[in-house]
Amino acid sequence: MDGIFNSHFLNKSAYFQVTDDYIKAKYSLFGKIDCRISDIDFVTDKNNCLIIRLKNGKCHTVYGLTGARKLCFAIRKKMSFEPAKNPEEIFKKIEKIKSEKRKNIIYIGCCFLLILISIFVTVFLTDFKEIHQFNKNDWTVFAAMSIILLAAMAVAFYFAEITGKKNIVTEKLQYTVRRTIIETSPLLYDKPTAVFTNIDYTVRYTVSGFPVDNTDYYISEYCFTEEELDSDFTLTETYENRSDIFDKYDGIDFRYVIDITSETEKST
């Protein structure tokens, strides 16, 4: 078991439990998670909020979790992952989703514009009267404009919802590309002592021996290299030190660092 995190943010009885292959949680007033790790399509965290998307399309958003980062890390470590065979295809999907989101945002903007217009038209057609001063014609205008207003709000919320769902899909696709690049890109040095990455797969840390032997205690014989994944998904070296590497090495928070030595060995 990785942990149980109680949350008093929305519900005193809320909890979140992660075992080797199962997740059970109760959150908010009626939120409930009861699934296997293998049922999860993607998981991410943002500002004490954990978002879990299942393979059946259902999405759980748990707010008020102080341990959201740790839970995300624990779940991701247990999930299976298949490297992307063709990252270019994923880039095309991401661009398509972004294009659809831009259209949805335009639709939402149009809906809110229509809401504002309907309010002003209602006020104008009722001669700026107070509600208690309305006659029969005024109530007819008010009812018609109310229907338009409610319909516009419903459409706006609809597009807002599907746009929000696309965000998690985009994040998963970006994560797939990042992880594939981090795990499969050639290492700067052969036969590394260890290779690590952060939880988001945006940085790769490599420790290599010079020469490769068992003299781990000779600090000067080792090289610590840091590579960062740029916004254009290019992996570039940002730090290297061939002596006193443990100053940098010890600075890594190993609670949220993943050992990918075996994965990188498969790609070499």
112 and 193 share one domain = no
SS3 content of the chain, % helix, strand, coil (to 5): 45, 25, 30
pLDDT of residue 217: 44
Least confident of 21-25, 43-47, 187-191: 187-191
CA 91 – CA 86 distance, rounded (Å): 9
pLDDT > 70 in the chain, percent: 85
Residues 94, 174 within the same domain? yes
**pTM given for the model:** 0.78
pLDDT at 6 over 50: no
DSSP class of 55: T
Q: Which of 143, 159, 182 is the last residue of a domain?
A: 182
Q: What is the pLDDT of residue 104?
A: 95
- Let me know whether 124 and 135 are in one domain: yes
Question: Which residues have C-beta within 8 Å of that of residue 15, sequence separation ≥ 6?
Answer: 4, 5, 6, 7, 24, 25, 26
Q: Within this chain, do residues 145 and 126 fall inside the same structural domain, yes or no?
A: yes
Cα–Cα distance, 237 to 228 (Å, whole number):
6
Q: Which of 154, 182, 210 is the last residue of a domain?
A: 182
pLDDT in tens, 160-186: 999 988 999 999 999 999 999 999 999
The predicted model gives 236-255 an average pLDDT of: 68
Per the structure, how many domains does the chain have? 3
Question: Would you call 102 helix, strand, or coil by DSSP?
Answer: helix
Can you give the pLDDT at residue 4?
A: 43
Pair 151, 115 in one domain: yes
Identify the residue with better confidence: 113 or 232. 113
Assess whether 195 and 260 both reside in one domain: yes
Tell whether 219 and 157 lie within a shared domain.
no
73/94 same-domain check: no
Sign (positive or negative) of CA dihedral 166, 167, 170, 171: negative
Residue range of the domain that includes 7: 3-78
Same domain, 155 and 222: no
Q: Quote the radius of gyration of the chain (alpha carbons, Å).
A: 26
Q: Do 71 and 93 share a structural domain?
A: no
Closest C-alpha to 150, from 177, 129, 119, 176: 119
Beta bridge partners of 209: 222
Q: Which CATH number goes with the domain that contains 27?
A: 2.30.29.30
- Among residues 41, 59, 78, the one where a domain terminates is 78
Give me the pLDDT at residue 251, please. Answer: 58
154 shares a domain with 107: yes
Asked whether residue 171 falls in the same domain as residue 210, the answer is: no
